């Protein structure tokens, strides 16, 4: 009898494509790419069993830099594409990547409903509080007093709180990571993929070109002072009051993930046509 | 310096030490290669080449550890090691690079990494690890010290950047 064919374990390198990223030198997204590839190796997955889906923006270039199946889609629509893919192909591990502009503004509505639907996928948002690719406009997570050439004096508009919104909308796993710690990001992605349902990992990923002051995030980011909770009310209090720099898993819910559509009735074409007969 | 591990036998502690040393090299190799790619993309071939060279040098160290331990590769996929800072002592910070940086800057980065690595090994050699680990750490600290000296010599041979080296009258605002 032949011995079973076993595949050798893959390393992070096996998940990296030959394309060189076009991100600015020093961009936090490099570390996220490293973390994603490390996480996939740690999960002992194979590239052909993983799909990376994205929208538009600097961060959304990530599918091309992996050897997994990739879909670089329409602005703000990474979640609908990723959700559809996971429902159609539940055997695939689906990672959806986005940025704070793509994910919280253009795709903000999809974010709410993806949390609510709780399809078993992992949503990674690289948040740099700015639209980097289009020259530095304020994004939904930009601080109201951040002054720039494009928004002198700041927007004066309260920033969006993605983790609070995710919790209120039904996300089943909520974590915050910092790209200055790629091993930490990888560990959180592993946990997110393993947790059933919609897992949301917000990665603080500095934009050194338009927000050079974000280099200081490495001094602000620190492990969350308390372990995660599975109590949404407690999580809400914590998320509403944290300063945006607590790193780690912050909430793990117990909602059952979307279980798939009920089996479709098996009508033949003749049956369907028959329905129209007079 | 890494966080203290549970008490292990001399052999186990030695294997763990070498596994950490190997992981440290891998992280450094990867970061230098990442910097090289980024600077290639941003049309700074001179510094890209230098980072590629630094990555290759670290690869030689990693290979030597594998050969010494007679490991075909790292025995098990290492869980992300808990370093005292977020990354290994020989890994350059991800945001240490600039598209207009010069070879001197790259060498400054490498120097800091080698100094940190030397201190990491010196601390282990001076600590309470098993004898074999301390001896290996002492040897590696000496090796890192020689790298520090080599890089310092190298820095004398490249021009120091003039003030305003990062000023760009027409900065790239689009990354493509």
In a domain, B59, yes or no: yes
Reported as a pLDDT band with limits 50, 70 and 90, residue B77 is very low
Provide mean pLDDT across the span B17-35.
Answer: 93
Whether B171 maps to a domain, the answer reads: no
b/e per residue A209-242 (b: at least 16 CB within 10 A): bbbeebbebbeebeebeeebbeebeebbebbeeb
Higher-confidence residue: B82 or B26? B26
Contact A24 B176 (CB under 8 A): no
As a whole-number percent, the residues of chain A with pLDDT over 70 amount to 97
Q: What is the pLDDT of residues A100-135, one digit of tens each?
A: 999 999 999 999 999 999 999 999 999 999 999 998
pLDDT by residue (tens digit) across A159-210? 999 999 999 999 999 999 999 999 999 999 999 999 999 999 999 999 999 9
DSSP string covering A133-150:
TTT-B--TTS-TT--BTT
Structural domains of chain B, count? 1
Please check whether residue B88 lies inside any domain of the structure.
yes
Is residue B37 domain-resident? yes
- Is there a domain that residue A24 lies in? yes
* pLDDT at B153 exceeding the cut of 80: yes
Domain encompassing residue A100: 12-274
Question: Within a domain: residue B169?
Answer: no
Query: Residue A147 sits in a domain of what CATH number?
Result: 3.40.50.970
Residue A3 is assigned to a structural domain of this protein? no
Residue A116 lies in a domain: yes
Mean pLDDT of the B158-168 span: 94
pLDDT higher than threshold 70 for residue A4: no
Q: How far apart are CA A41 and CA A13, in angstroms?
A: 9
User: In chain A, which residue ranges form alpha helices assigned H by DSSP?
Assistant: 29-42, 78-88, 100-101, 108-117, 162-169, 182-194, 217-220, 232-241, 269-274
Query: Could you tell me the pLDDT band of residue A7, with boundaries at 50, 70 and 90?
Result: low
The domain spanning residue B107 has which CATH number? 1.20.1260.10
In chain B, what residues touch A206 (CB-CB under 8 Å)? 95
Listed ranges A3-7, A147-151, A221-225; the one with the highest mean pLDDT: A221-225
Give yes or no for A8 touching B (CB within 8 A). Answer: no
Chain B CB contacts of A24 under 8 Å are 38, 42, 99, 175
**pLDDT, mean over chain A:** 94
| A154 within some domain | yes
Residue A77 lies in a domain: yes
The larger pLDDT score, comparing residue A173 to residue A149, is at: A173
Residue B5 in any domain: the answer is: no
Q: Identify whether B14 is part of a domain.
A: yes
Residue among A20, A133, A178 whose CB faces B175 most closely: A133
Chain A residues with CB-CB distance to B95 below 8 A: 26-28, 180, 206, 208, 215, 218
Residues pairing with A200 in the sheet = A123, A174
Q: Is the pLDDT of residue B166 over 80?
A: yes
pLDDT at A250: 98
* pLDDT higher than threshold 70 for residue A148: yes
Count CB neighbours of B41 within 10 A. Answer: 18
Tell me, yes or no, whether A96 lies in a domain: yes
pLDDT of residue B1: 44
pLDDT for A31 equals: 96
- The residue segments making up the domain with residue B28 are 10-156
Contact A207, A231 (CB under 8 A): no
- Of A149, A192, A146, the closest CA to residue A171 belongs to A192
State which residue of chain B sits closest to A181, comparing Cα positions: B86
Split into its structural domains, chain A has a count of 1
Instruction: Name which of A183, A190, A208 to mutate to probe chain B: the one with the most chain B Cβ atoms within 10 A of its Cβ.
Output: A183
Give me the residue label for tokens 């059933």: A196
Instruction: Name the residue of chain B whose CA is nearest to A44's CA.
Output: B77
> What is this model's ipTM?
0.85
Q: DSSP labels for A206-229? A: --TTT-GGGGGHHHH-EE-SS--B
Is residue B175 domain-resident? Answer: no
Q: Name the residue among A171, A186, A141 with its Cα closest to residue A251.
A: A171
């Amino acid at each position: 009898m032949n011995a079973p064919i076993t595949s050798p374990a893959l390393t992070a390198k096996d998940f990296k494509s030959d394309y060189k990223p076009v991100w600015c030198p020093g961009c936090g997204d490099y570390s996220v790419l490293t973390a994603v590839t490390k996480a996939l190796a740690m999960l002992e997955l194979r590239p052909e069993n993983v799909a990376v889906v994205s929208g538009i923006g600097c961060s959304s270039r990530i599918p091309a830099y992996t050897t997994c199946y990739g879909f670089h889609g329409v602005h703000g629509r990474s979640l609908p594409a990723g959700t559809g893919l996971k429902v159609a192909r539940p055997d695939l591990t689906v990672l959806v990547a986005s940025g704070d502009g793509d994910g919280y503004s253009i795709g903000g509505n999809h974010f709410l409903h993806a949390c609510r639907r709780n399809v078993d996928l992992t949503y990674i948002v690289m948040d740099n509080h700015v639209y980097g690719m289009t020259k530095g406009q304020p994004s939904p997570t930009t601080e109201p007093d951040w002054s720039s050439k494009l928004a002198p004096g700041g927007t004066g508009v309260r920033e969006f709180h993605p983790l609070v919104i995710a919790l209120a909308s039904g996300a089943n796993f909520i974590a915050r990571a910092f790209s200055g710690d790629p091993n930490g990001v990888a560990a959180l992605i592993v946990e997110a993929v393993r947790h059933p349902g919609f897992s949301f990992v917000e990665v603080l990923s500095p934009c050194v070109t338009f927000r050079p002051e974000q280099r200081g995030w490495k001094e602000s980011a620190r492990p969350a002072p308390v372990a995660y909770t599975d109590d949404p009310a407690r999580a809400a209090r914590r998320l509403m009051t944290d300063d945006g720099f607590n790193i780690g898993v912050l909430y793990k819910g117990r909602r059952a993930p979307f279980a798939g559509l009920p089996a479709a009735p098996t009508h033949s074409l003749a049956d369907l046509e028959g329905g129209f007969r007079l | 310096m890494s966080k203290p591990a549970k008490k292990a036998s001399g052999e186990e502690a030695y294997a763990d030490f070498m596994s950490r040393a190997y992981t440290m090299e891998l992280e450094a190799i990867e970061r230098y290669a990442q910097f090289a790619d980024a600077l290639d993309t941003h049309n700074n071939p001179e510094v890209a080449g230098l980072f590629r060279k630094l990555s290759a040098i670290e690869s030689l160290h990693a290979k030597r550890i594998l050969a010494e331990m007679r490991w075909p590769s790292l025995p098990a996929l290492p869980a992300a090691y808990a370093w005292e800072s977020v990354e290994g002592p020989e890994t350059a910070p991800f945001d240490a690079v600039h598209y207009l940086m010069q070879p001197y800057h790259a060498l400054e980065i490498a120097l800091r990494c080698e100094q940190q690595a030397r201190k990491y090994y010196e601390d282990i050699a001076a600590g309470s690890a098993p004898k074999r680990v301390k001896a290996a750490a002492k040897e590696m600290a000496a090796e890192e010290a020689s790298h520090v000296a080599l890089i310092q010599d190298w820095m004398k041979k490249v021009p120091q950047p003039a003030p305003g080296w990062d000023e760009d009258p027409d900065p790239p605002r689009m990354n493509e």
